[in-house]
DNA sequence: AATCCTTGCAACCGCGTAGTA
DNA sequence: TTACTACGCGGTTGCAAGGAT
């Protein structure tokens, strides 16, 4: 037995909206607002439409200040960086692009931007296969170890990640690309030991992590995806446990620490000693054993069974996604010396 | 000119979640 | 605590327009 329909399907019009319908809906909402009830709205206006359809039409098309098409390079960069960081969380990505809707961005990504970027990678792969048989070729490693049922999303993000690395010259990392990361957290650019004072100083600056997570150590506060100036953070929460100023920290590379991902919480752990809590919106625990992120030594503990936020990807897919994020952003964690 | 194929985008569908009684 | 309702989100579909053959 399926879910009860949200409206009487038989008496509801489907398909493209007519200009008359648009006018009716827009006029009414301009005058009276939605009334907090989309389901009842079409009846009030006299539209033979489902409430959900009205809502969608309003949000994606009729709402004021909506922009369609003509994405700028800057918008491309923001979309790309957020997609690699958080995946297909279109509403979150849209929140960082004023005037853009999640549907618009989703369509733009699926039909243009993704092809544009992955197309470039194909070109580069061709060049690689002709001129380079380097043992460390990431593509070769990829072919060897990528799980067959790796989700499309994870694979895309992986491909994009690798491509973006390739796009840099050998002496420049992905993370230092000012186009991709307009405001890169200075901690990530350092490979040397960072003292608490340095961390404190850095944290007080207006700087952001490419993942979109900004850690304010002074206030034990986290802001997620605060990318555009003047745009309110998508998420902000006090961390569970503050950094101990008496300890000395250094940026941690590789996978020497455990990473735990809960529902909406990502704990970067240091072998059981939780340091930070980050909100990322996932629902599993992931543990690595200090090995390569491609390695098989990954333990996964599924905490809950439902996770629509990350689509229908399998647990293995999600593992890979987690690994991807871990590899990318492990640098942001610290372990005590 | 006709047909087929591809692309872009609006809209739909189903599910998870939050709010409330 | 449970059941119900509505909202919001992301994946998917349908179709029109344009291009290729």
How many Å apart are A91 CA and C8 C1'? 9
Q: Which nucleotide is nearest to A89 (CA to C1')?
A: C10
Residue with minimal CA–C1' distance to B15 is: A308
Residues 289-328 of A with CB under 7 A from strand C: 308-309, 311-312
Confidence of residue A154 (pLDDT cuts 50, 70, 90): low
* Domain boundaries defined on chain A: 10-62, 145-336
How many Å apart are A304 CA and C1 C1'? 20
How many Å apart are A228 CA and C8 C1'? 23
Asked if CATH classification 1.10.10.60 holds for the domain at A10-62, the reply, yes or no, is yes
Asked whether residue A4's C-beta has any atom of DNA/RNA strand C within 7 A, the reply is: yes
Q: Of residues A300 and A70, which shows the higher confidence score?
A: A70
Beta partners for residue A302, in sequence order: A284
pLDDT in tens, A107-132: 888 888 887 776 665 556 656 555 54
Token pair of A125 as six digits: 């792969």
Confidence of residue A152 (pLDDT cuts 50, 70, 90): low
For A77-100, what is the mean pLDDT?
A: 86
How many Å apart are A95 CA and B20 C1'? 28
Beta-strand (E) ranges in A26-93? none
How many Å apart are A15 CA and C13 C1'? 12
Predicted confidence (pLDDT) at residue A252 exceeds the cutoff of 50: no
CB A183 within 8 A of CB A207: yes
Q: Of residues A245 and A40, which shows the higher confidence score?
A: A40
Coil vs helix vs strand at A215 = strand
Residues 35-74 of A with CB under 7 A from strand C: 36-40, 51-52, 55
Predicted confidence (pLDDT) at residue A215 exceeds the cutoff of 70: no
Q: Which of A323, A243, A256 is nearest to A285 (CA)?
A: A323
Residue with minimal CA–C1' distance to C5 is: A6
Pick left, alpha or beta for residue A224 (phi over 0 → left; psi -120 to 50 → alpha; otherwise beta): beta
pLDDT in tens, A287-317: 333 332 222 222 232 333 333 333 323 333 3
Tokens 């100036």 belong to A229
% of chain A beyond a pLDDT of 70: 33
CB A214 within 8 A of CB A208: yes
Q: Of residues A67 and A143, which shows the higher confidence score?
A: A67
Position A66 scores a pLDDT of 86
- On average, the pLDDT of chain A sits at 54
How many Å apart are A73 CA and C18 C1'? 25
User: Hey, CA dihedral for A201, A74, A234, A225, is it positive or negative?
Assistant: negative
Position A68 scores a pLDDT of 81
Q: Which nucleotide is nearest to A34 (CA to C1')?
A: C7
Predicted confidence (pLDDT) at residue A86 exceeds the cutoff of 50: yes
Which nucleotides of chain B have an atom under 7 angstroms from any protein CB?
A: 7-17
Residue with minimal CA–C1' distance to B7 is: A111
Beta partners for residue A260, in sequence order: A267
Token pair of A283 as six digits: 């629902």
Position A116 scores a pLDDT of 76
Phi/psi for A83 (5° steps) reads -65, -45
Residues 209-238 of A with CB under 7 A from strand C: none
Position A43 scores a pLDDT of 84
Beta partners for residue A249, in sequence order: A194, A336
Token pair of A320 as six digits: 């890979």
Predicted confidence (pLDDT) at residue A33 exceeds the cutoff of 70: yes
How many Å apart are A21 CA and C16 C1'? 20
Position A35 scores a pLDDT of 78
Which nucleotides of chain C have an atom under 7 angstroms from any protein CB?
A: 5-12, 15
How many Å apart are A306 CA and C1 C1'? 21
Asked whether residue A106's C-beta has any atom of DNA/RNA strand C within 7 A, the reply is: yes
Predicted confidence (pLDDT) at residue A103 exceeds the cutoff of 60: yes
Confidence of residue A163 (pLDDT cuts 50, 70, 90): low
Q: Which of A27, A48, A332 is nearest to A194 (CA)?
A: A332
How many Å apart are A15 CA and B2 C1'? 28
CB A81 within 8 A of CB A180: yes
Residues 71-100 of A with CB under 7 A from strand C: 88-92
For A21-33, what is the mean pLDDT?
A: 88
Predicted confidence (pLDDT) at residue A51 exceeds the cutoff of 50: yes
Residue with minimal CA–C1' distance to B16 is: A308
């Amino acid at each position: 037995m399926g879910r009860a329909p949200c409206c009487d399907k038989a008496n509801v019009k489907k398909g493209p909206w007519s200009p008359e319908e648009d006018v009716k809906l827009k006029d009414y909402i301009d005058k009276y607002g939605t009334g907090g009830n989309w389901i009842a709205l079409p009846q009030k206006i006299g539209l033979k439409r489902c409430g959900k359809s009205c809502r969608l039409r309003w949000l994606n098309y009729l709402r004021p200040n909506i922009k369609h098409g003509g994405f700028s390079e800057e918008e491309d960069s923001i979309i790309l960086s957020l997609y690699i960081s958080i995946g297909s969380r279109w509403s979150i990505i849209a929140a960082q692009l004023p005037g853009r809707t999640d549907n618009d961005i989703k369509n733009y990504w699926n039909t243009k931007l993704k092809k544009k970027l992955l197309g470039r990678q194909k070109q580069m792969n061709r060049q690689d296969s002709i001129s380079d048989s380097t043992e460390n070729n990431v593509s070769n490693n990829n072919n060897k170890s990528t799980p067959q049922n790796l989700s499309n999303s994870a694979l895309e993000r992986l491909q994009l990640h690798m491509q973006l690395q390739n796009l840099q010259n050998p002496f420049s990392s992905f993370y230092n690309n000012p186009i991709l990361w307009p405001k890169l957290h200075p901690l990530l650019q350092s490979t040397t030991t960072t003292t608490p004072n340095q961390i404190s100083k850095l944290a007080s600056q207006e700087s952001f992590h490419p993942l979109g997570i900004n850690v304010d150590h002074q206030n034990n506060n986290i802001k997620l995806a605060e990318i555009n100036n003047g745009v309110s953070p998508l998420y902000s929460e006090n961390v569970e446990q503050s950094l101990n100023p008496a300890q000395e920290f250094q940026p941690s590379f590789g996978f020497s620490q455990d990473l735990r991902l809960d529902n909406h919480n990502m704990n970067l752990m240091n072998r059981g000693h939780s340091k930070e809590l980050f909100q990322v919106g996932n629902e599993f625990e992931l543990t690595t054993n200090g090995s390569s992120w491609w390695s098989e030594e990954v333990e996964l503990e599924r905490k809950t069974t439902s996770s629509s936020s990350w689509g229908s990807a399998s647990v293995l897919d999600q593992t890979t996604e987690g690994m991807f994020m871990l590899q990318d952003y492990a640098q942001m964690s610290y372990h005590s010396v």
